Amino acid sequence: MNEQAHKAITPEFLRSMSYPDFVALMKQDNTPPGSAYTVDYWIEHAGISNNSVLLDLACSTGYSSRYCFSKTSSSAEGIDISEIAISTAREKAAAMGAQDKLRYQVSDACSLPFSDDTFTHILGGCNFAFIQERSKALAEVARVLRPQGVICTSNFYYRKQPGQEIINSVYNAIGFRPDPDWTLKYWHDFFAREDLELYHEKNHELSSQPQEELKENLLRYVSAENEFTRELDETTQNAFYERYLAIREPLNDQRDYQGVTIQLWRKK
Ligand SMILES: C[S@@+](CC[C@H](N)C(=O)[O-])C[C@H]1O[C@@H](n2cnc3c(N)ncnc32)[C@H](O)[C@@H]1O
């Protein structure tokens, strides 16, 4: 992005972007719930290795497939419906010299451009919640997964019922309305198709961060840690900080009601 384009980044422009596009514009490593811990868990318990062929489903900027590649040399295809996320994922793979092993394309999870039985593993970090027609996407995933292949998931679930106020503020921040019925049982029932069996599960309860700590962390992230935003002028950095805080505050508030469930589902 050139100097002129940076000048066009105003708070209004950033507020007008969808949440996935904003994250991609910031070139953020959008990670699955549990971040590296989760992907390490997948690698260890689902047996991801240099022979694995992964599908990074609704991959955002491709963190999970890049992480698996850097740890195991596995290859991957990644798909997401956001064009800007895919172009950032491609940039990041090229920067590692891994563009031959990590390929990304714009595609809808409900209509995957791959043959039956293609993949050994599907990486599904916090994405089925975001996919509106999620049962259709799961049927597609089961189709492209090889027999004995594994769907590696990590999803937020509600361990306490959140009030409507929390749900509304999350919706206002990210344009996506979580369903208070997304409990642990919901995710079990969702994945429990006849052709899938659960063989590993690990659950963690979450809690919110103090607000001041959250603000300090986000300010440090935008001004010093993020390789893209730290190079911007102060006004543009403030625009990123403002939108990012507006996203993260309601997400942080709902952590007191949530847990993360990491599950591995094997195709029979
Ligand atoms: C929270 S991000 C998940 C990121 C990533 N899987 C991870 O673990 O960090 C959700 C992603 O789902 C994508 N998405 C939503 N609906 C989709 C669909 N129908 N097909 C493909 N991607 C979709 C969004 O563009 C967004 O990048």
Has residue 245 been placed in a domain? no
Is the pLDDT score of 29 beyond 90?
no
Alpha-helical (H) ranges within 50-207 are: 63-72, 83-95, 134-144, 164-174, 184-191
**Structural domain boundaries enclosing 117:** 18-158+176-206+258-267
CB distance 63 to ligand 1 below 6 Å? yes
Q: Which residue has the higher pLDDT, 24 or 261?
A: 261
Is the pLDDT score of 2 beyond 70?
no
* Number of structural domains found in the chain: 1
Has residue 85 been placed in a domain? yes
Has residue 236 been placed in a domain? no
Q: How far is CA 165 from CA 206, 254, 256, 259, in A?
A: 19, 10, 14, 19
CB distance 65 to ligand 1 below 6 Å? no
User: Residue 56 CA: which ligand 1 atom is closest?
Assistant: 6
> Which band of pLDDT confidence, cut at 50, 70 and 90, is reported for residue 197?
very high
Is the pLDDT score of 23 beyond 90?
no
> Which band of pLDDT confidence, cut at 50, 70 and 90, is reported for residue 7?
low
75-80 and 102-106 strand pairing: parallel
Has residue 9 been placed in a domain? no
CB distance 257 to ligand 1 below 6 Å? no
Task: For the chain, give the mean pLDDT.
Answer: 94
CB distance 88 to ligand 1 below 6 Å? no
User: Residue 57 CA: which ligand 1 atom is closest?
Assistant: 6
Of the chain, the percentage scoring pLDDT greater than 90 comes to 88
Q: Would you say 104 and 84 are in contact if contact means Cβ atoms under 8 Å apart?
A: no
SS3 168: helix
Of the chain, the percentage scoring pLDDT greater than 70 comes to 97
User: Residue 24 CA: which ligand 1 atom is closest?
Assistant: 27
Is the pLDDT score of 1 beyond 50?
no
CATH number for position 125: 3.40.50.150
Q: How remote is the CA of residue 234 from the centroid of ligand 1, in Å?
A: 30
What pLDDT is attached to residue 3? 44
Has residue 113 been placed in a domain? yes
What pLDDT is attached to residue 24? 86
Has residue 99 been placed in a domain? yes
Has residue 3 been placed in a domain? no
Has residue 211 been placed in a domain? no
**E strands, 118-246, where?**
119-125, 145-158, 196-205
User: Residue 18 CA: which ligand 1 atom is closest?
Assistant: 25
